[in-house]
Amino acid sequence: MRIDICKNQLKCDFYGCKNLAKYSFSTKGFIRRDLVFCEDCMKKMFECFSKLMVPKPIDAPFKKNKKERV
């Protein structure tokens, strides 16, 4: 999987969004063509992902771990 800058003048694929796509996401066969989306939707998508992937807030995890071990 890879994200590229969208070179074509395509509309964002997200429902209800009328912005021009800024990024394209190559799914390599999952969908027939690349998914394209604008910067706003990229941010919203990232917020959704980060809620799933990072349940704890990121504040210097390495330092915290060292303190806890000592």
CA pair distance 37, 39, nearest whole angstrom: 7
Residues 4-23, interacting with Zn ion (CB under 5 A):
12, 14, 17, 19
C-beta of 6 vs 38, nearer to Zn ion: 38
Residue carrying the six token digits 């604008």? 38
**Cα 39 versus chain centre, distance:** 10
- Which of 6, 23, 34, 38 contacts Zn ion by CB under 5 A? 38
CB of 17 to Zn ion, least distance (A): 3
CB of 54 to Zn ion, least distance (A): 23
Helix (H), strand (E) counts: the chain: 2, 3
Interface with Zn ion (CB under 5 A): 12, 14, 17, 19, 38, 41
